[in-house]
Amino acid sequence: MRWIWIDRFVEFDRGRRAAAVKCVSLAEEHLHDHVPGFPVHPPTLMIEGMAQTAGVLVGDVFDFKEKVVLAKVTRATFHRHVGPGDRLRFEAEVQGEVRHEGAAITGTITSNGDLVAEIELMFAHLDQSREPVEPGEGNFVFNEDFIRLLRMRQLRDLASNGPSPDA
């Protein structure tokens, strides 16, 4: 299993906001195990989904050269259960701007227009002067899976801006 809790970026405004979607499916093991007999998508994984949406938004500002880590879940309020068949929309917005020290994010999760959760997160950039990183170690935060998610979005944009098949 891969630790990716969003399926696709649907909006990406560099350094300001991003939106991603996730379709919850009964094919996912955790839905059966979390509350047996009552399949729900756990709120903790929705926080993770928001952290991934927002983390890519923050990391992109410095071209994924900084190691962006989730430093604080300032607030997370959940309003309803989410189950199989739901399509979640994660919207993350940068408060102010992404700074060299880190960033604050406010986010909402909706499903079919209904408010599911309100989440505020803080991200920090790991200070490389204090945490020496071996050359060539790479960025352990942004592995290929996340970069690919963003590239998929860019590729779709390119495709949709091209000549339509009907033209």
Partner 1 sequence: MALSRDEITEKVREALVDALGVDEDEVTPEARIGGDLGAESIDYLDIVFRLEKAFNIKIPRGDLFPDNILSSDEFVQDGKLTEKGLGELKARMPHADLSQFEQNPNVQDIADLFTVDMIVRYVESKLGGEEG
**Distance, CA of 62 to CA of 77 (rounded, Å):** 30
Residue 30 contacts partner 1 per CB under 8 A: no
Specify whether the CB–CB gap between 14 and 61 falls below 8 A: yes
Please tell me whether residue 100 binds partner 1 under the rule CB under 8 A. Answer: yes
Q: How far is the CB of 98 from partner 1 (least distance, A)?
A: 11
31 or 141: whose CB is closer to partner 1?
141
**Part in contact with partner 1 (CB under 8 A); list of ranges 6-14, 46-54, 92-100, 151-159:** 92-100
Nearer to partner 1, 2 or 130 (CB): 130
Residue 96 makes contact with partner 1 by CB under 8 A? yes
- DSSP assignments along 118-167, one per residue: EEEEEEEE--TTTS---TT---SSS-HHHHHHHHHHHHHHHHHHS--TT-
Q: Using the rule CB under 8 A, which residue among 72, 87, 151, 156 binds partner 1?
A: 72
Cβ proximity of 86 and 106 under 8 Å: no
